[in-house]
Amino acid sequence: MNEEPDVIIIGAGAAGLSAAKELTRQRLSYTLVEASHRIGGRAYSEEIAPNNWFDLGCSYLHQAETNPFVPIADNLGIVLKKDKGDLFAVDQVRNYCNGIMLDENQSALRNQYDQQCTERIIASKAQGKDSAVSDLVDLDSPYAAPLMIGMATANAADIDQTSAADLVNFINGYDFSILNGYGNLVKKWGGQVPVSLNTKVTSINWNSSGVQVETNRGTIRSQRVLVTVSTGILAANHIQFKPGLPAWKEAAISAVPTQTMNKIGVHFSRDVFAAGDLGVHHTWNENGQGSEIEANVMGLNTATIFVGGRFAVWLEKQGQQTGLDFALNQLTDVFGNDIRNHIDNSIVTAWATEPLTLGSYSCALPGHANQRVELAGPIDDKLYFAGEATIVGAQATCHGAYLSGIRAAQEIKKASDSR
Ligand SMILES: Cc1cc2nc3c(=O)[nH]c(=O)nc-3n(C[C@H](O)[C@H](O)[C@H](O)COP(=O)(O)OP(=O)(O)OC[C@H]3O[C@@H](n4cnc5c(N)ncnc54)[C@H](O)[C@@H]3O)c2cc1C
């Protein structure tokens, strides 16, 4: 490891890797430490079948019009699915209640309800408020259940824990998909960055003479440290700050928790989907339980079942088999029982208990959308912060993490120039 680099970066996810590249561009040295055996963090792909990559974390290139990973993929020769139809648009989604597909009239009513909810959320922010989404929508509607399920999978949090202003701050755009895994894209793009793997930070001592970072592989000293770990890791005090973080930073960490969204990927040994099955399906029962299903989007005989919020945490705690059973029940509700005869492989994610993230991605609590700015704020030109939770507009995304890394590296450069 570099003896005394200009900066110590903690975490080799999208944020840490982009910060490393930007620091090099700014001619500053760094040591990048990563607790895991691999780079990428929450961008991670595994083969669910030969040559068929399943993303356990990020899979969509959101805000594709401006997403920096789009030109990065193009330059690396990585194939993106760039059709601009919005897979998630309400009028494209098929809806199933208790296993029965909504008819045209019911679907129109559902879309109307969704539209009303969106308008209320936007209006609330426009009035300068930051309410819980649950306070803005009609929960007695027969279409409240799919709205709640859809919101929990999108935001990783239930609507009573979701800040309406945070939602409105997110810039809408096209979603591009990627054939061979977003995780693989990040791995290839970040592959040349020197990283000290299997190096877990346990504490950061910071004082007027600099920072001292304790890891399982020894101590590293520098003048500045850039922390890119999730707010889940920070809130759990897995890294001890000595002295402790100021109250305003602690408040920001609590206000923008890392929440849970899990996926269950199922690969089938043959094509079990009809041509019209491709796309997103919402399914729920009278108890308000359900999921969002993405079927065969890449044409590789794979379905992904998404669950979010408290239900996702609960399901994760029941273990992988219960998660898979739930997913298969959801699939048979929509595609019929026969698909059970053709299951080839499955992957069940467990982000709530993943020890290096403690959650999937961040969602600001009601009243706290503005805390993302505090989360990003440096302390005493010693402690800098990046990561998906520290950016507004592209929050909770992989490219948002990338942008936050560049922002933090530029803040560091500016501060070091002005010394
Ligand atoms: C299920 C799921 C679906 C998602 N879907 C999408 C999507 O479709 N599109 C999208 O854009 N985004 C999506 N995201 C979000 C996206 O993956 C993340 O926002 C992004 O990858 C976060 O990058 P990061 O660098 O901020 O954090 P991370 O990737 O978490 O990087 C932080 C790194 O710090 C390391 N670390 C933790 N503790 C320590 C320690 N003590 N010492 C050293 N290292 C440590 C971690 O191992 C990790 O590698 C999804 C995420 C999940 C989980």
| pLDDT 10s digits, 396-419 | 999 999 999 999 999 999 999 998
| pLDDT 10s digits, 179-190 | 899 999 999 999
Give start-end residues of each CATH 3.90.660.10 domain in the chain. 87-172+261-348
Q: Give the C-alpha separation, 262 to 251, whole Å.
A: 26
Residue 35 is classified by DSSP as: S
The answer, yes or no, to whether residue 2 has pLDDT greater than 60, is no
The answer, yes or no, to whether residue 57 has pLDDT greater than 60, is yes
| pLDDT 10s digits, 266-315 | 999 999 988 778 889 999 998 999 999 999 878 789 999 999 999 999 99
Give the helix ranges, DSSP H, for 41-103: 69-76
190 lines ligand 1 (CB under 6 A): no
CATH number 3.50.50.60 given to 7-43+181-255+365-417: yes
387 lines ligand 1 (CB under 6 A): yes
Provide the token pair at 149: 């399920």
The answer, yes or no, to whether residue 215 has pLDDT greater than 90, is yes
For ligand 1, the distance from its centroid to the CA atom of residue 271, given in whole angstroms, is: 32
Task: Determine the CATH number of domain 87-172+261-348.
Answer: 3.90.660.10
Residue 97 confidence (pLDDT): 95
| pLDDT 10s digits, 122-170 | 999 999 999 999 999 999 999 999 999 999 999 999 999 999 999 999 9
Q: Which of 220, 240, 280, 398 to mutate to test the pocket of ligand 1 (most atoms within 8 A of CB)?
A: 398
Q: Give the C-alpha separation, 386 to 390, whole Å.
A: 6
| pLDDT 10s digits, 306-346 | 999 999 999 999 999 999 999 999 999 999 999 999 999 99
Can you tell me which atom of ligand 1 is nearest the CA of 67?
11
- H/E stretch holding 144 reads helix 144-155
48: left (phi over 0), alpha (psi -120 to 50) or beta: alpha
Residue 192 confidence (pLDDT): 97
For ligand 1, the distance from its centroid to the CA atom of residue 43, given in whole angstroms, is: 6
Cis bond before residue 246 (omega within 30° of 0): no
Polymer length in residues for the chain: 419
Q: Give the C-alpha separation, 141 to 155, whole Å.
A: 21
| pLDDT 10s digits, 368-394 | 999 999 999 999 999 999 999 999 999
260 lines ligand 1 (CB under 6 A): no
Residue 318 confidence (pLDDT): 98
Taking the chain, what is the end-to-end CA distance rounded to the nearest angstrom?
A: 25
249 lines ligand 1 (CB under 6 A): no
Average pLDDT, the chain: 95
Residue 154 confidence (pLDDT): 97
Mean pLDDT of 190-198: 98
Share of the chain above pLDDT 70, in %: 98
Provide the token pair at 374: 């505090």
Residue 327 confidence (pLDDT): 98
Q: Give the C-alpha separation, 369 to 120, whole Å.
A: 17
pLDDT band at 352 (very low <50, low <70, confident <90, very high): very high
Mean pLDDT of 91-101: 89
Cis bond before residue 243 (omega within 30° of 0): yes
291 lines ligand 1 (CB under 6 A): no
| pLDDT 10s digits, 241-268 | 999 999 999 999 999 999 999 999 999 9
402: three-class secondary structure by DSSP: helix
Calculate the alpha carbon distances from 312 to 54, 114, 261, 396 in Å. Answer: 19, 22, 6, 17
Burial class (CB in 10 A: 0-12, 13-18, 19+), 176: buried
Residue 81 confidence (pLDDT): 87
Which protein residue's CA is at the shortest distance from atom 39 of ligand 1?
A: 35
Give start-end residues of each CATH 3.50.50.60 domain in the chain. 7-43+181-255+365-417
Q: Which of 33, 37, 56, 58 to mutate to test the pocket of ligand 1 (most atoms within 8 A of CB)?
A: 58
Interstrand relation of 45-49 and 30-33 (parallel, antiparallel or unpaired):
unpaired
The residue among 417, 419, 418, 412 whose CA lies nearest residue 20 is 412
- H/E stretch holding 291 reads strand 290-295
Residue 246 is classified by DSSP as: P
